[in-house]
Amino acid sequence: MPEILEIALPASADDPRWQAYCHLNHEYNHELIGTTEWDESPEDALVQAVAETDHTLRRYLAYDDDAPVGYARVLVNHVDEPDAAALNVYVHPGHRGRGHGRALAERLVQDTAGFARFETWPMAPPPAPGEDVLTPSSGAGAIPAGHPGVRLALSYGFTVGQIERVSRYDVAAPAVDPAEALAEAERFSADYEVHTWEGPAEESLRADLAVLKARMSTDVPAGDLTVAEQTWDAERVRRKDEQILLTGRFFRAVARHRGTGRIVGLNELVAPRSRADGLIDQWDTIVLPEHRGHRLGMRVKAANLLALRRALPEARAIITWNAEENRPMLDVNEALGFRPILVEAAMEATAPLRRAATPANRLQK
């Protein structure tokens, strides 16, 4: 069995265990997308880890004959969900089938005994035709049943509550001109104006942005997952901006209602500052319910794509996540040219966490 060590945040990114942990993260990325575009430098990863204030992350490394072969993580949002733990186990493909994943999982079970609820998010290529899959009760989306992370989660009683689609947008060669998409959307939303900027939010905008950020936790389709409402205020927006900008370039597009002056729509893009060719994360996109139906989601997304392209002409691609049952947002993404590349299963279990005899989800062909 492997030796499992919990690793603390080091004083320097040159620390051998931190380097090993980051290298395994890179191997995971390469396995998923086949390129190095998603890799984050050990230096940037450490800066972000030290700056994090809302979450606590415990990290573990598994060693086999002194070689790092896998890692595990326990993530806790101690601001909004202190009784829930998000778990993650990864073993390098060259070392699978030897019990390393099970050993890491058992360590997580041991160290999370006080939590009431657990989440895990295995990610995989979309299922091939005829492949055995697992589906949530909604029937929206599927993930390969034979994926190692899925099988491990099922063996501990996790069930699939939702499938998320991971999509990619090619900035340099979009399938649709975002300028044309923006012009079309503007025809349906004359009562609104859209503003874009790079960097932190002005103090006058933070309260409205906090409302939108909080609604992201309750308005997005959640399938069978437990939803914990998040609490955001202007100070949390300011603090999060500061953290992101330590290593990233932060682009926002907002829709302002002319009648009230309130910010009612939002799109966020975060680009790695240290590498121009790195994958850009599309974070929150939301429009307040009373302002939907005016194509504001399309407006803020298209406007932010144009702003990103002006500021980062060398940008290559954007990656984003959407629930498979979130058809309105998928429609916007598909119309802009986002294409699916991966699926992610949102899986949940309740305490006590232990190995289960029979999976609880639907297996389909």
* pTM for the whole structure: 0.94
In a shared domain, residues 16 and 158: yes
Q: What average pLDDT does this structure show over 330-347?
A: 97
Rounded to an integer, what distance in angstroms lies between the CA atom of residue 343 and that of residue 125? 6
Asked whether residue 358 carries a pLDDT value surpassing 70, the answer given is: no
Task: Give residue 333's pLDDT.
Answer: 96
- Within this chain, do residues 350 and 273 fall inside the same structural domain, yes or no? no
Rounded percentage of the chain residues whose pLDDT exceeds 90: 93
The Cα 272–Cα 281 span in angstroms is 9
For residues 18 and 92, state if they share a domain: yes
Is residue 168 over pLDDT 90?
Answer: yes
Per-residue pLDDT averaged across 24-52, rounded? Answer: 97
320 in a structural domain = no
Domain containing 160: what range?
A: 3-164+344-364
Model pLDDT, residue 356: 73
Q: How far is CA 148 from CA 2, 101, 123, 142, 283, in A?
A: 18, 9, 10, 15, 27
> What is the model's pLDDT at position 1?
82
Q: Kindly report the length of the chain.
A: 365
Q: Are β-strands 117-120 and 84-91 bridged in parallel, bridged antiparallel, or unpaired?
A: parallel
Checking if the pLDDT of 357 tops 80, the result is no
Under DSSP, the state recorded for 57 is E
* 291 DSSP 8-state letter: G
- The answer to whether position 298 is within a domain reads no
H-helix or E-strand spanning residue 167: strand 159-170
Q: What is the mean pLDDT of residues 155-167?
A: 97
Give CA–CA dist 60/357, Å, rounded: 26
> How do 362-364 and 67-77 pair as beta strands?
unpaired
Arithmetic mean of pLDDT, 194-207? 98
Per-residue confidence band for 125, with pLDDT thresholds at 50, 70 and 90: very high
Token output for 61? 């490394």
In this structure, the answer to whether residues 96 and 45 fall within a common structural domain is yes
Parallel/antiparallel/unpaired status of strands 362-364 and 133-135: antiparallel
Give a yes or no: residue 153 inside a domain.
Answer: yes
> Do 24 and 101 reside in the same domain of the chain?
yes
Q: How far apart are CA 124 and CA 101, in angstroms?
A: 17
As to burial, measured by CB atoms within 10 angstroms (0-12 exposed, 13-18 middle, 19+ buried), residue 103 is buried
What 3-state class would DSSP assign to 360? coil
pLDDT in tens, 72-103: 999 999 999 999 999 999 999 999 999 999 99
Clarify whether residues 75 and 25 are in a common domain. yes
pLDDT of residue 296: 97
Q: How far apart are the C-alpha atoms of 351 and 347, rounded to whole Å?
A: 14
Flag whether pLDDT at 178 surpasses 70.
yes
- 251 contacts 196 by C-beta, under 8 angstroms: yes
Q: What is the C-alpha to C-alpha distance for residues 194 and 153, in angstroms, rounded to an integer?
A: 43
The H or E element that residue 248 is part of is strand 248-257
Does residue 11 sit in the same domain as residue 120? yes
Same domain, 232 and 353: no
Domain match, 151 and 238 both: no
In a domain, 231, yes or no: yes
Residue found by looking up tokens 């690793």 in the block: 7
272 has a pLDDT exceeding 60 = yes
Residues in CB range of 102: below 8 A, 6 or more apart: 152
67: domain CATH number is 3.40.630.30
Q: Quick one: average pLDDT of 200-225?
A: 95
Residue 289 is given by DSSP the state G
Provide CB contacts within 8 A for 13, sequence distance 6+.
Answer: 19, 22, 41, 42, 43, 45, 46
Residues 145 and 223 in one domain: no
Domain assignment of residue 176, yes or no: no
For residues 206 and 266, membership in a common domain is answered with yes
Which of 293, 322, 353 is at the close of a domain? 293
Number of domains the chain is built from: 2
Question: pLDDT at residue 260 above 80?
Answer: yes
> Quick check: is 113 in a domain?
yes
The SS3 call for residue 11 is: coil
Is residue 302, in this structure, part of any structural domain at all?
no
Residue-wise pLDDT tens digits, 223-246: 999 999 999 999 999 999 999 999
Mean pLDDT of the chain: 95
107 located within any domain: yes
The answer to whether residues 150 and 143 touch, using CB atoms and an 8 Å cutoff, is yes
**Which of 293, 308, 325 is a domain's end point?**
293
Q: Residue 365: what pLDDT?
A: 43
Are 335 and 102 a contacting pair, CB within 8 Å? no
Query: Domain end: 251, 270, 293, which one?
Result: 293
Q: Look at residue 81 in the predicted model and tell me its pLDDT.
A: 96
| Confidence label for 276 from pLDDT (cuts 50, 70 and 90) | confident
User: Are 231 and 141 in the same domain?
Assistant: no
Mean pLDDT of 134-155: 96
